[in-house]
């Protein structure tokens, strides 16, 4: 990790980029010490006042001016940093989890290496669909349902994978003679995912959801954008699966889990960091675009995008465009520089 930092900060622009990201993190953490709640209109605040406006009643100085209903833009910008970083990193974390697991499965097992038997596949699919059915009609909440669905799918895949050592199967001489074409399935899934325009799906989901909050935006962005990570991880694993150290590990009898976690991932993760950096920046831009269009953000959540959307009703309010925009620009620029440095060192 320190090695990576040395490579990023090898020249001035890299150092600046790291500094800017750290600065924004600092602002995000300490925002509540400097400014008040950005959603509250300060007493006597008037809408659309230029930077440096002093509220006559209380003598408070609005350093960055006020927005369309008279709220402090400085507070909004500082709290906006918090949201931008949360959205960027959390969404990337979610898409990384999904993307890495799909990519690993597709790349490591390929079309031929995941051997199962017909009986266990049929049983697993049957059990899984029965369980889905009962969960669906049990009147539990949406979140519990989603968690149960994803966990159970995971467990079923594990079972499929482990079931061949079951005594019962050995007793009845049921062999693993069916190779599940996981690579093919996951590639088709990625193909479908990429044919559908992400921004539209995002808009449609956020409009269809009742009272979406920024957390919904984070989850939806994260879930929608796993394909590029999955493709990269798959390519990495395809290239290392036939290397000697993996073959050796297999011949010693290491389990596939151990090989993937201890030997495969550490070697595949380095090129991923480049993608993570770009992914964080594009998630930030996507979220800003959404709140700029006024979708997915409630009125009392102030983000950089929602500040800028206030300028759409009044194009004379240049500070509402310039200040949050510069914040987004600098954060995204420095993340891109970091990504670029990481790509260069390879």
The site for other proteins (CB under 8 A) is made up of: 130, 133, 137, 139, 188, 191-192, 194-197, 199-200, 203-204, 207-208, 281, 285, 288-289, 292-293, 308, 311-312, 315-316, 318, 321-322, 325, 328-329, 332-333, 336-337, 340
Q: Which is nearer to other proteins, 13 or 179 (CB)?
A: 13
Q: Which is nearer to other proteins, 282 or 301 (CB)?
A: 282
DSSP string, 79-147: HHHHHHHHHHHHHHHHHHHHHHHHHHHHHHHTTTS-EE-HHHHHHHHHHHHHHHHHHHTTT--HHHHHH
In angstroms, what is the minimal distance from the CB of 307 to other proteins?
12
In angstroms, what is the minimal distance from the CB of 237 to other proteins?
18
In angstroms, what is the minimal distance from the CB of 312 to other proteins?
8
| Number of other residues whose CB lies within 10 A of the CB of residue 2 | 6
For residue 62, what are the β-bridge partners? Answer: 53
For residue 53, what are the β-bridge partners? Answer: 62
DSSP 205: H
User: How far is Cα 318 from Cα 311, in angstroms, rounded to an integer?
Assistant: 7
Q: Which is nearer to other proteins, 10 or 255 (CB)?
A: 10
In angstroms, what is the minimal distance from the CB of 203 to other proteins?
5
Q: Which is nearer to other proteins, 63 or 336 (CB)?
A: 336
Q: Which is nearer to other proteins, 133 or 245 (CB)?
A: 133
In angstroms, what is the minimal distance from the CB of 209 to other proteins?
9
Which tokens belong to 175? 């062999």
User: How far is Cα 323 from Cα 141, in angstroms, rounded to an integer?
Assistant: 41
In angstroms, what is the minimal distance from the CB of 60 to other proteins?
27
Residue in this structure with the two tokens 């659309």, named with its chain if needed = 48
Q: Which is nearer to other proteins, 55 or 274 (CB)?
A: 274
């Amino acid at each position: 990790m320190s090695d990576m930092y040395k490579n990023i900060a090898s020249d001035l622009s890299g150092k600046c980029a790291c500094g800017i990201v750290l600065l924004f993190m600092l602002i995000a953490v300490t925002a509540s010490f400097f400014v008040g709640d950005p959603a509250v209109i300060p007493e006597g605040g008037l809408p659309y006042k230029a930077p440096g406006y002093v509220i006559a009643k209380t003598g408070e100085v609005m350093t960055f001016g006020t927005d369309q209903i008279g709220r402090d833009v400085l507070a909004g910008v500082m709290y906006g940093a918090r949201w931008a970083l949360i959205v960027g990193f959390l969404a990337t974390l979610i898409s990384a989890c999904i993307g890495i697991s799909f990519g690993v499965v597709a790349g490591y097992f390929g079309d031929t290496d995941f051997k199962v038997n017909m009986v266990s596949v049929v049983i697993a699919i049957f059990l899984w669909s029965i369980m889905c059915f009962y969960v669906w009609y049990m009147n539990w909440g949406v979140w519990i349902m989603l968690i149960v669905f994803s966990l159970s799918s995971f467990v079923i895949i594990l079972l499929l994978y482990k079931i061949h050592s079951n005594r019962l199967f050995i007793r009845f001489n049921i062999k693993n003679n069916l190779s599940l074409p996981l690579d093919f399935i996951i590639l088709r899934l990625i193909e479908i995912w990429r044919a559908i325009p992400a921004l539209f799906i995002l808009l449609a989901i956020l409009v269809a959801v009742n009272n979406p909050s920024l957390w919904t935006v984070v989850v939806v962005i994260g879930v929608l954008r796993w394909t590029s990570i999955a493709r990269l991880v798959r390519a990495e694993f395809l290239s290392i699966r036939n290397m000697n150290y993996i073959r050796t590990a297999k011949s010693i009898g290491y389990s596939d889990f151990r090989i993937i976690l201890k030997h495969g991932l550490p070697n595949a993760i380095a090129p991923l960091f480049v993608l993570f950096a770009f992914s964080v920046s594009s998630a930030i831009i996507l979220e800003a675009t959404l709140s700029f269009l006024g979708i997915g953000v409630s009125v009392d959540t102030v983000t950089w995008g929602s500040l800028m959307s206030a300028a759409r009703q009044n194009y004379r309010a240049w500070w509402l465009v310039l200040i949050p925009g510069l914040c987004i620009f600098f954060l995204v620029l420095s993340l891109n520089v970091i990504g670029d440095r990481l790509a260069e060192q390879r």
